[in-house]
């Protein structure tokens, strides 16, 4: 499924099962390039463990450090949120939300130009993601999850949201717009 003019999309992984369990190829550069183009060169893998109710995000890096991500849940379940923060986009400020889990075995590709975050809805979640640029602290920005202009109703997923101090003090959508990303 594609979103935001094919800049964000889901990939259903193929599992090969037998009496021993299963095998899955979680990333194959050749197949990825054939399907989606060869402009993406992932350089780092990240792993995140979160308890129920933890929200991580909405994060992005300013140009030229904007990251493409390929996200998957290895164990548990999350609601993933992606917000279009491209200054000239007709979809600026719009968001999508998707359930990713170890059961549905979907991956989510997110191009640069989008803020990304997720809420853990299972007791815990182990999330793996690839990125195509290294972390750059000076260009790292958080979009405020509770900005009224975003209209994300996160409370319907969990009665207690746990945020880092950094995530509590994110920029408003209007402040992000003024950055002209």
pLDDT, tens digit, for every residue of 111-170? 999 999 999 999 999 999 999 999 999 999 999 999 999 989 887 877 789 999 999 999
Mean of the per-residue pLDDT values of the chain: 91
Please give the residue range of the domain that contains residue 80: 2-178
- Choice among 22, 49, 59, 157 that is catalytic: 59
129 is known as an active-site residue: yes
pTM: 0.91
Extract the tokens encoding 169: 């003090």
30 confidence band (pLDDT: 50, 70, 90): confident
Q: What is the DSSP string of 19-81?
A: TTEEEE----HHHHHHHH-S-----EEEEEEEETTBEEEEEEE-TTS---EEEEEEESEEEEE
59 is known as an active-site residue: yes
174 confidence band (pLDDT: 50, 70, 90): very high
Residue 54: what pLDDT?
Answer: 97
Query: How far, in Å, CA of 55 to CA of 125, rounded?
Result: 11
Extract the tokens encoding 108: 């989510």
85-126 pLDDT, tens digit per residue, is: 999 999 999 999 999 999 999 999 999 999 999 999 999 999
**Residue 153 CA: distances (Å) to CA of 55, 74, 100:** 13, 26, 18
Number of domains in the chain: 1
CATH number at residue 172: 2.60.120.10
- Choice among 49, 129, 135, 157 that is catalytic: 129
Residue 2: what pLDDT?
Answer: 72
């Amino acid at each position: 499924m594609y979103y935001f003019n094919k800049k964000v999309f889901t990939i259903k992984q193929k599992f090969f099962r037998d009496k021993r369990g299963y095998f899955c190829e979680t990333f194959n550069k050749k197949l990825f390039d054939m399907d989606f183009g060869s402009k993406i060169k992932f350089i780092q893998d990240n792993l995140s463990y979160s308890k129920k109710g933890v929200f991580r995000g909405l994060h992005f890096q300013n140009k030229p450090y904007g990251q493409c991500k390929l996200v998957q849940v290895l164990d548990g379940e999350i609601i993933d949120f992606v917000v279009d923060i491209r200054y000239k986009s007709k979809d600026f400020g719009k968001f999508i939300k998707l359930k990713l889990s170890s059961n549905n075995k979907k991956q989510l590709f997110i191009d640069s130009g989008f803020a990304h975050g997720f809420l853990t809805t299972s007791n815990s979640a182990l999330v793996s993601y690839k990125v195509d640029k290294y972390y750059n602290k000076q260009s790292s920005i958080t979009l405020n999850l509770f900005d009224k202009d975003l209209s994300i109703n996160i409370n319907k997923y969990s009665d207690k949201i746990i945020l880092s101090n950094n995530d509590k003090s994110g920029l408003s959508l209007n402040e992000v717009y003024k950055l002209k990303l």
